[in-house]
Structure 1
Amino acid sequence: MRGWLREAAGGLPRQFWFLWGGTLINRLGSFVLIYLAIYLTQDVGLSTSKAGLVIGAWGVGGGLGTLAGGVLSDRWGRRPTMLTAQFGAAALMLTLGFAHGFWQLLVCTLLLGMFAEGVRPAFQAMMIDVVPDRDRVRAFSLNYWAVNLGFAASAVLAGVAAQADYLLLFVIDAGTTLVTAVVTLVFLRETRPAVRARKARRNGPGLGTVFRDRVFVSFLALNFLIVLVVMQHQTTLPIAMAEDGLGAATFGWVIAVNGLMIVAGQLFVPKLIEGYDRSRVLALATLILGIGFGLNAFAGGSVGFYVFTVVVWTLGEMLQSPSNSALVAELSPSLLRGRYQGVSSLSWSAGGALAPVVGGFAQEHAGSTVLWLSCAVLGVIVAAGQLISGPARERRASELRVSPTLTKSPTSTETRHDEDVTPPTAPRRPAR
């Protein structure tokens, strides 16, 4: 056991563990998003479609926040970006708890999404800055483990708090966000090198550089489609269970299985997938995710069957997350690390914005069965896309591993120094 722990968690830098600890604290109080759909429909009294629009506003705000956070983390710094986002999110969380009416809820959720998700690119860029390439899959797995340890506990605790008073959800969530901000303020140092900071301010490449990277954007497009599936666990799944007569506390225990499985098994995943083709791992993971959500069509109000579906799609999530995060890190040129992380987070925020709207509409007008079977179809499509686009991604990752800040022009042998941060173009295949 001691040897396994050393292999799973040993040798990582001190600053990583402060990041990890902040993640755990924050996730232990992440009550609001888990129960927002139930709160809006049962306590506030919004329709399913309006609740979907409010939750979708979180995703819209998150998309804006991640883009701004990505640019600011490269230009302003990782630490100040994180502090601004964390203190702002704590204040807005309390504001949302006291908001009334559809439009107030919509605006507060939009702003909260901006600040809550704005921290993500800076956090991820800082983690990549301090963790060497060889340890990143382990580091992302450990951080994901902390996320889900907190999620598993918060899902159960939030169910109890919601039965007492829904306002407690917002108060506790704001409190843990504030504690995380204090951890950032006291223990974390800035990791953006000063030389790179001056070059970034002087040359100032924009977000368009990232969006012109076709290999990266095609990968994010696939990620966006699977996010549409995954995010149903926060929106349409609790509504479907409520329609089957299962209460908020039951949903909390069912969804906590997701976190408990990840806590129990996630640290074994890096060793399990070591040596396997990454594109095939991602394809298998997305296929399992799609099938897991598709099985909800046959739950029929059975708590045991809902637990079974959570077990299935969690297995896919456990395989997908560390490979996905490490690949995004490898595809990010060092001078544009914050921007690439911001655009990557945008795929999650955009999926988070659209998932409740599309899922809520499908659930309300076509029924839950159509919704869940559509999730299975999307899983198959994304799995095929991962297999097809995988070779180009691995070529790009290999180029950046060899020369993270020094690349060669795709049309000549001229060398571009790190002032030129345009991502390399994938080599063309020779004509047959």
Structure 2
Amino acid sequence: MKLLTYLNNKIVQPYLDTFNGLSREVWWLALITFVNRAGTMVIPFLSLYLTKHMGFTVSKVGWVMTAFGLGSVVGSWIGGKLTDKIGYYKVMVFSLIGTGFLFVGLQYLTTFYTICMGIFLVMLVADTFRPAMFVALNAYSKTENKARSVTLVRLAINLGFSGGPVIGGLIITAIGYESLFWIDGITCLLAAMLLVMVLRPKKARVLDNIIVENPKSVYNDKIFFIFFAAMVLFGFVFLQYFSTMPLYYKDIYELSEFHIGLLMGFNGFLIFVLEMPLIKKLEDKQLNMVGLMIFGAALMGASLFILNLNHWIGIIIMGMVLMTVGEMILFPFSNAFVMQRAKGGRQGEYMGLYTISFSIAHVFGHNMGMHFVDYLGFDTTWYIMTGLTILCLLLLYWLKVAVEKERLEKIESYK
């Protein structure tokens, strides 16, 4: 009994306390995101599906992934524009419904060109959701809770992803790949139904309704584009964990789809357990946001560099841990950074470009990663990715200097 009391007081209650202060709407948005992402089982296995099931070469898979990224770029841009014009609620509903039907239809495409076209359309419709969701999250969160609100939604995403690959691996083993497309489609439609039920504009409370009479365009924000370039590079490296890395696990370590699913699920489990307490602690310390992003990116680079040190199975687990901690730090604070800069501008544009930075990484990251692996091998690919991370760190340092200079100039202008 004393042990249970001790665990409750020292571990369980402090963990639960990190969730205090978040609005009801943010919790609903997190649940909707969880329902949606829990069904996204095809994505982590897409490269395996195309190579092992459809018989595509690694180079062709790279081009499919490029179509994936192009659809994401166009969808994110359209989503940002539509969010500023018709509002985040309508964009989210239409995106979820459209994605549901498109996911179901994707399984019936069998040729290289039709699959490229299908993946492009799926991602175009699916990623209109992302900038709209970020603007909604901004509206439903108090200023002091922005990073933790982002973290809660990320927890929902990763909880869905942690369960999704494990279940997906079991379904592939027992039934086959085709059933995953049905599950993805149905869960998108369920997420749309939940959104309509609980987050209709008349039901939701807006806690941070920013009205700017003459909003500045993100395209005039030079500092933001330093950040944008750094995020493209970070995304380029990060996305290797969802395209080339499953092939690495399969070819070098001879892991089955089920074991690959478990390893990727471990990433989601760590985020679910550790991210909110970590972000709460870092928020309380009021550390520099860009400095935290630098630390997160450095951990990502280290996670890939150590893969070439040894081919012991423990190395890939260590790499997964480093990558997970890196993304736990970088993503919430990079998102909070964008929310902060978006207050004086068009929020849809800012959030759209933020998501486009990762969409551009999708365009080039998967394809180039696949070609690097095909022509240079895995070891050289990991060294290249480490080099790109170093370039990302240099850009983030430049960003840190530029933001500090901007802050000092504002102080001088007030005197």
Task: Please indicate, yes or no, whether the TM-score normalized by the shorter chain is above 0.5.
Answer: yes
Contact persistence 1:254–1:306 (CA under 8 A)? no
Instruction: Determine which of 329, 336, 340 is the counterpart of 1:330.
Output: 340
Q: Quick check: 1:299–1:306 contact (8 Å CA) kept in 2? A: no
Task: Give the RMSD, CA atoms, in angstroms.
Answer: 2.5
Which residue identity is paired with 2:61? Answer: A
Residue of structure 2 in register with 1:109 after alignment: 119
Q: 1:56 to 1:94 in 2, by over 3 A?
A: same
1:17-41 alpha-carbon deviations (Å, 9 max, x no partner): 1101101111211101110000000
Q: CA deviation at 1:199?
A: 9.0
How many residue pairs are counted as aligned between the two chains? 395
Distance (Å, rounded) in 2 between the aligned partners of 1:70 and 1:182: 22
Matched, 1:320 2:325: no
- Output one character per residue of 1:217-238: Cα deviation in whole Å (capped at 9) or x when no partner: 1101001101000000111011
> Tell me, what secondary structure is at the counterpart of 2:127?
helix
Range moving further from structure 2, 272-281 or 233-242: 272-281
- Trace 1:273-352 onto structure 2 (pairs within 5 A): 273=282, 274-300=285-311, 302-333=312-343, 335-352=345-362
Distance 1:219 1:427 in 2: 20
The residue type paired with residue 312 of structure 1 is L
CA distances 1:268-315 after superposition (whole Å, capped 9, x unpaired): 112332322222211111011011022223453x43322221111111
Measure the CA separation in 2 of the matches of 1:334 and 1:110: 33
SS at match of 1:320: helix
Maintained 8 Å contact 1:257/1:307:
no
Aligned partner (choices 186, 201, 204) of residue 175 of structure 1: 186
Which whole-Å CA distance do the structure 1 matches of 2:205 and 2:338 have between them?
A: 18
State the match for 2:5 in structure 1: none
Partners of 1:394 and 1:341 in 2: how far apart?
22
Counterpart selection for 2:168 from 135, 154, 158? 158
Query: CA-to-partner distance for each residue in 1:138-197, whole Å, 9 max, x for gaps?
Result: 11111111111111111111111122210111111111111111111121133799xx99
Q: Which residue of structure 1 lines up, in the alignment, with residue 218 of structure 2?
A: 210
Distance 1:429 1:356 in 2: 45
Change (3 A) 1:240 1:299: farther
- Give, in whole Å, the separation in 2 of the partners of 1:192 and 1:395: 36
Supply the distance in 2 between the matched residues of 1:91 and 1:328 (Cα, whole angstroms): 32
Equivalent position to 1:271, from 251, 256, 280: 280
Q: Supply the distance in 2 between the matched residues of 1:178 and 1:82 (Cα, whole angstroms).
A: 12
- Find 1:254's aligned residue among 252, 263, 267: 263
Q: Which moved more, 1:245-254 or 1:62-71?
A: 245-254
Find the residue that maps to 1:331 and give its secondary structure: helix
Which structure 1 residue ranges, 4+ long, deviate > 6 Å from structure 2?
196-200, 426-430
TM-score, with structure 1 as normaliser: 0.86
1:298 to 1:101, Cα distance in 2 relative to 1, 3 A:
farther
Determine if the alignment matches structure 1 residue 149 to structure 2 residue 159: yes
Alpha carbons of structure 1 residues 184 and 364: separation in structure 2 relative to 1, 3 Å: same
Q: Deviations over 1:22-63 (max 9, x none)?
A: 011112111011100000000001000101111221110010
- Separation in 2, partners of 1:135, 1:394: 23
Q: Counterparts in 2 of 1:344-423, with a 5 A limit? A: 344-393=354-403
Q: CA deviation at 1:212?
A: 2.6
State the one-letter code of the partner of 2:228: L
